[in-house]
Amino acid sequence: MTDPLTTALGTDLQQAARDHLWMHFTRHSVYEEGGHVPVITRGEGHRIWDDTGREYIDALAGLFVVQVGHGRQELAETALTQAEKLAFFPIWSYAHPSAIELAERLAHGAPGDLNRVFFTTGGGEAVESAWKLAKQYFKLTGKPRKHKVISRSIAYHGTPHGALSITGLPPLKEDFEPLVPGAHKVPNTNIYRASEDLRDDPKAFGRWAADRIAEAIEFEGPDTVAAVFLEPVQNAGGCFPPPPGYFERVREICDEYDVLLVSDEVICAFGRIGSMFACEDFGYVPDIITCAKGMTSGYSPIGAMIASDRLFEPYKSGTASFAHGYTFGGHPVSSAVALANLDIFEREGLNDHVKTNAPAFRRTLERLLDLPIVGDVRGEGYFYGIELVKDKATRETFTEAEAESMLRGFLSKALFDAGLYCRADDRGDPVIQLAPPLTIGQPEFDDIEQRLRSVLTEAQNHL
């Protein structure tokens, strides 16, 4: 073990973390009596190291973010060069070259007529921006009652109050209520938990799930619904891909009722599923794309709402403006880093790499289906969930207490101790989520599978 690290003030790093750092989504009680805070100090490629010098596989790309891997010197150098030239300037009635160039590049890469790029500093802000745009757009075009949104059960769309309202996870919302009114939920595309008459017919299940959106719009009143927010592959609950025909039908429904289709690609964009934007992987053109994480591979924070020309039309004349923005939206350094990150994608062919290797990743993870505790392996591209069950034959899941004991009491720590950084998630039925850097291949797939196998085999003894 290396010597303990200290802060600039000479305090032990662990103690300073316990005393001063308020970590996100964290139960701090586990650290209050001297518990060890996992402190990651460096990364290279698909590997990370902690403050004791121990090495791990980063099988979550930080947080679905580090697409090109850790330690890319050229991205750090790009940030330095831009900061020396222009460290900051807002895009409030002004512009700067890196934001202009990034907007152009994103527009050229987006499908259809999605040509207008509104920058934020993260994904939740992009979702917040999309809802606000949808409301104002319909006010400006003579349909002021259209303000409601439809999203899916269990889906996560962010933590700002509007985005949290769109989020379909009641436990995340109850402490912050009342939230923004007008957000309504429909069933998600978890075919593993579908009724038996639909479970073996993905196309029929997809039609059923999509039609629940039409049903919700009709129930709320088409003249009151502004937008539908959907992830290409739903994250929370464990990587639910869309069934065949699902998005085709959703697009039809949105067109029929004049409702905007928002593709929330904060996780799925920038190669996570394969294409630069995942809506292209599933053959649909939305009205808005929200994105963030992989745009810079996490080397600097940025997000964006990419809207169609139609939605920008009311702002091209007269006095109308979108009275919304963020100080650091389109930050010069972040924009420059994003451009350099996209250069790496093109130079190294990362999108094609994912498309070529994704089937092998699936096959490797599906080996785990021979374990009694593994009920389902699902996902697309380099984005997978492994659902854990109490009884494989009946698909019986765990009680809340059992899930708490297994996920938080055993699995999270055991996976980390096995040198695997990933997510053990209990938002919905218990799952393990994997979203590694897009640079890895079969040797790393095998390594991940073996580490998972070891821990999940032991997990059966903790039921």
Query: Tell me: the pLDDT tens digits for 349-391?
Result: 999 999 999 999 999 999 999 999 999 999 999 999 999 999 9
Domain borders along the chain are 38-71+350-462, 74-348
pLDDT at 453 over 60: yes
pLDDT band at residue 127, thresholds of 50, 70 and 90? Answer: very high
Percent of the chain past pLDDT 70, that is, above it, reads 99
pLDDT surpassing 90 at residue 51: yes
Identify the pLDDT of residue 1: 43
CATH class assigned to 38-71+350-462: alpha beta
Mean pLDDT, range 307-327, rounded to an integer:
97
Checking DSSP bridges between strand 260-264 and strand 288-291, what pairing results, if any? parallel
- Dihedral sign, CA of 210, 254, 124, 379? positive
Between CA 124 and CA 417 the distance in angstroms is 31
Q: Look-up: residue for tokens 């070259």? A: 97
With a cut of 90, say whether residue 315 has pLDDT above it: yes
Q: Which tokens belong to 177? A: 């209520």
Amino acid found at 87:
A
Q: How many CB atoms lie within 10 A of CB 412?
A: 16
* Distance, CA of 26 to CA of 33 (rounded, Å): 15
Pairing between β-strand 40-44 and β-strand 374-380 as defined by DSSP bridges: unpaired
The yes-or-no verdict on residue 2 having pLDDT over 60 is no
Q: Kindly report the pTM of this predicted structure.
A: 0.96
Looking at domain 74-348, which CATH architecture does it have? 3-Layer(aba) Sandwich (3.40)
Residue 374 to residue 337: CA distance in whole angstroms: 40
